[in-house]
Amino acid sequence: MTDRYAVIGNPIGFTKSPFIHGTFADATGQDLSYEAIEAPLGDFAGRVDQFRAEGAKGLNVTAPFKLDAFVYATELSDSAKQAGAVNCLKFEGDRIIAENFDGVGLVRDITVNLGVTMKGRRVLMLGAGGAARGALLPFLRQQPSELVLVNRTLSKAVALAEEFAGRGPLIVSGYAGLADLAEGYDIVVNATSASLRGEMPPVPGNVFQGAKLAYELAYGKGLTPFLRAARAERVAKLADGVGMLVEQAAEAFVWWRGVRPSTAEVIAKLTVPLS
């Protein structure tokens, strides 16, 4: 019997997940189906209850339901607890087991696909929203020499840093404080929503000085203002979030099916040239 999986969100028409997981299944010989579900706003639990009743095995969760999934789960992984959000569910009888693979997928894309070491490096994270929250613990586990978290509303970054106190060298700053840097960062990650609006986070050019990687979490947008600024400062490598998207999907696939799919071909097919 074919096992059923899906991604749930609202809206959901943009999702690449059915293509990604369908490709993974074909490549690994897994007997599964994967669909997209647009759940009504305000009735996440009801729609997932229906899917489970139909015999579903698992579910990817995207906006705006990651917090709903956090509440819906009966068991939360450490990653999900730290992120305060859930992007993947597994159903085993009455058990609803929750994970968050966003940060793990991002780290794998940076360290494996892009070949950039994070250990001992200075890392700058722009933004303190859900995307940054999910990435902080996986980033700190890579043992950077420092991880600087910057946000327009400094109090939000401070509150987030307090939750991760003792986990590693996490520093908080406002954008204005970056202007006084004596040197730039090795890795600069844009976890803000600025690029979705075609805007540039208010960072001075010196943050890119000597950087090995500028990473844009938004994907499929081409050369965003953030990446354009990094290119102007001659950053060695530029990347958008398509690799993160595929790698977090691969983590879910491993968790569900017990086999790790190759990601290179899928990333290549989904990559939009940075030009």
If you search the block for the tokens 């950039």, which residue do you land on?
116
Please give the Cα distance from 150 to 83 (Å, whole number): 17
**Cα angle value 233/247/257 (rounded, 5°):** 175
Q: What residues act catalytically?
A: 66
Q: Are 102 and 69 in contact (CB under 8 A)?
A: no
Q: How many Cβ atoms sit within 10 Å of the Cβ of residue 27?
A: 13
Amino acid of residue 181:
L
Instruction: Write out 257-271 in H/E/C secondary structure.
Output: HCCCCCCHHHHHHHC
Please give the Cα distance from 27 to 259 (Å, whole number): 11
Concatenated DSSP letters of 129-163: SHHHHHHHHHHHHT--SEEEEE-SSHHHHHHHHHH
Question: Residue 271 to residues 93, 137, 203, 220, 268: CA-CA distances in angstroms?
Answer: 38, 27, 26, 7, 5
Q: Which two tokens stand for residue 31?
A: 């007997």
List of residues 6+ apart from 238 with CB closer than 8 A: 213, 214, 216, 223, 227, 230, 231, 274
